[in-house]
A and B are shown apart, each in its own frame.
Chain A
Amino acid sequence: MSAIAMRELTKVYPNGVRALDALDLEIADGEFFALLGPSGCGKTTLLRTIAGLEVASAGSVRIGERTVTNLPPGKRDVAMVFQDYALYPHMTVQDNIAYPLRIRKMDRRGRAAKAADTADELGLSALLERRPGQLSGGQQQRVALARAMACHPQVFLLDEPLSNLDARLRLEARTFLKRLQRELGVTTVFVTHDQAEALALADRIAVMEGGRIRQVGTPTEVFRRPANTFVAGFIGSTPMNLVDAEVHDGELAVAGTRLPMPQDADDRVTDGEKLVYGVRPEYLDYSPEPVPGALSGQVVVVENLGSFSLVSLDVPTGDGVMDGVGDAVGVAGTTLQVVVPEGREPEPGDTGWVVPRPGRSLLYRDGELVSTAPAPAVPTARTGVDAER
């Protein structure tokens, strides 16, 4: 059980791809930490660099008290669970779990006992004599976890731990994984491209893009106050509404409507400044009647999502609003999405009004959050956010 600290970590592949770009990150002891990002953002490279399977081009990695930057993977005291689990097909479940102990030259009997104990903890006792090919996906995953646990590492590294399971099993495995991590208390880093998985599992999340970390924070921080439009568009089952806005007399002109200035931004903007206004579909209230201070538009699509519906509104562009400004990622233009509880869904073609809930809207300047607090407060970590991108 150890903290992990990375300083100026850079990885450039021989073909010139810069997978990690001077990245700083601290992961606390015992933390369940998610590396989240779209494919190609460097999250897997970062995990593999912590494991030692990739050699850093520059910078350092510390695990606990040791600098492990140049140590081979076997000397780092980490265990990794691979996306495909990498269970050895020619070994039984017991031999698979005991393999790390075999490498550590533990005698046969000790190995068998330890493997049986670990298997017991994960409910695998009945499967010890089977081969991986005879197990279901969920069982294979648990064998892989047991194998990682058997050698009592300082750090667990999980590469896309849930992506090989079908949807129902995934929820089950998610709960199981979270409980297991809590019980073991071992520092655990996992990679995922699924924001829901990261939000549900992690104590803290690092959202990555292009080899850099765009935001580090708790799931709540990352969800409520995305530090930039990239994170805003990536986090959440529905991306944040991002609409062009202009400052007028301490108010915001958004799609022809005057909205109150988000509270912590009001003394950081200048009159006439052009910004991007962001609000999550979950934080908008829909009304079929005209309401003061609401954006109005025509309902174009209603998507039923079970207990609620996602309604898309075409909001006509008002005078004070211009197109094509701001980060291209996730800018909704003049389409607004709003979450409507069941039973209150409008029909396509209806005219509707949406009101942002107070304290839940954000402003972005050049893609970065405008806020009095200098980026969401993260006590232990220096974020790698770079405003000059």
Chain B
Amino acid sequence: MNTGTAPAPAPATDPAGEGPTIAVRHLLARIGRYTFLCAVLGFFALPLLWLATAPFDDTPTITASLPQFTLDNFRALLDNPYALSSLLNSVYLAAGTAALVVTFAALAAYALSRVRVPGRDALLYGLLLLSSIVTGTATMVPLFELAFRLNLIDSRLGVILILSGGLLPAAIFILKDFMDSTPTSYEESARVFGASALQIMRHIVVPVVRPGLATVGVWAVANVWGNFLVPFLLLRGPEKAPAAVIMYTLYTEGGQADLRLLSTFSLLYSLPVALMFVFVSSRYGFRFHGGIKR
């Protein structure tokens, strides 16, 4: 016990001797760190700044600059026959896909979480691995062929089904984690009270994993919103094309990208997703009320 206290003062004198050099090193490290952070911040902030300024600029360029303020770009965009309807198309596709993905992922994840299936984990990992290919470019040819045979070319349903198929494995994976962390005693107590499986799902499981469902829903919408290839290949005309595809058609007569329309349309294109994010996180947030004593 006595020997233990003796060395204690020694370390205190040590840093005092090297004080200045350590302080300088700390300062340099700090400057370096902030410089790096600024560079990273700039890398991500500049495109967003362009998105905020270019739509209101008379003559937008590909760099962010102080705009000559005008709303003419929006007027010009409204003249484009497909601009606004394409946003609506995007909403159809995103909402349809999200609904399918959330419903089926919830049912599958619940089952996989609660029922002991041999090889369950292998199945999940296999699906997750394959799903990164299913909607990928690699399988576009067979998927197109499949859609053609099923008469799903130029149909929103076809796009929704193919997108859902691609998103489902990852969604099941995410939701299974939420289901796993929900104590089974919730359902068991409801069972003892006589609740049926569907009642348990509706009254207990869905409300408890609602943050997870919201996460998966938002994630599915964002995925569909940004997907270009599947609707581009499967939908023939511009009437059904979603915003991501219509954006591709915004050229001037000379074949150059029309930056005025592009920037304006980009802003309109990104707003719904951003708003949805804010809404969902404030409405469903990632709260867990407790009620299980750990």
Contact = CB atoms under 8 A, between A and B. Distances in A.
A74 B195 contact: yes
Interface string A69-109: 00011110011101111111110000000011011100000
A86 B288 CA distance: 14
A85 B208 contact: no
B69 interface: no
Which of A14, A88, A140, A151 has its CB near the most chain B CB atoms (within 10 A)?
A: A88
Nearest to A78: B192
Interface string B264-294: 0000000000000000000000001111111
B293 A85 contact: yes
Contacts of A329: none
B20 interface: no
B185 A90 contact: no
B126 interface: no
A359 B193 CA distance: 49
A131 B183 contact: no
A52 B194 CA distance: 11
B188 A89 contact: no
B32 interface: no
A57 to B, nearest CB: 17
B188 A131 contact: no
B291 A87 contact: yes
A99 B203 contact: yes
Interface string B105-132: 0000000000010000000000000000
Contacts of B189: 80, 82, 86, 147
Interface string B181-215: 00101101111111100010001100110100000
Interface residues of A, number: 33
Contacts of A86: 183, 185-186, 188-189, 291-292
Contacts of B210: 90
Closest 3 CB pairs of A and B: A74-B194, A133-B290, A132-B291
B193 A84 contact: no
B289 A73 contact: no
Contacts of A51: 192
Given A86-B188, A89-B290, A140-B293, 8 more contacts: A14-B116, A72-B191, A74-B193, A80-B188, A85-B293, A86-B185, A86-B292, A88-B204
B181 to A, nearest CB: 12
B293 A84 contact: yes
30 contacts: A53-B191, A78-B192, A80-B188, A80-B192, A84-B294, A85-B291, A86-B185, A86-B188, A86-B291, A86-B292, A87-B292, A88-B186, A88-B203, A88-B291, A89-B291, A89-B292, A90-B208, A90-B210, A100-B194, A103-B190, A103-B193, A103-B195, A103-B199, A131-B290, A131-B291, A132-B291, A140-B291, A147-B189, A151-B193, A164-B293
A89 B288 contact: yes
Interface in B206-230: 207-208, 210
Given A84-B293, A90-B208, A90-B289, A79 B193 contact: yes
Contact of A82 (B188, B207, B208): B188
Given A84-B293, A85-B292, A132-B289, A90 B194 contact: no
B289 A89 contact: yes
Contacts of B185: 82-84, 86
A62 to B, nearest CB: 18
Nearest to A157: B192
A137 interface: yes
B192 A84 contact: no
B71 to A, nearest CB: 45
B188 to A, nearest CB: 5
Contacts of B195: 74, 103
Contacts of B199: 103
B192 to A, nearest CB: 5
Nearest to B191: A73
A100 B193 contact: yes
Nearest to A53: B188
B207 A90 contact: yes
A157 to B, nearest CB: 8
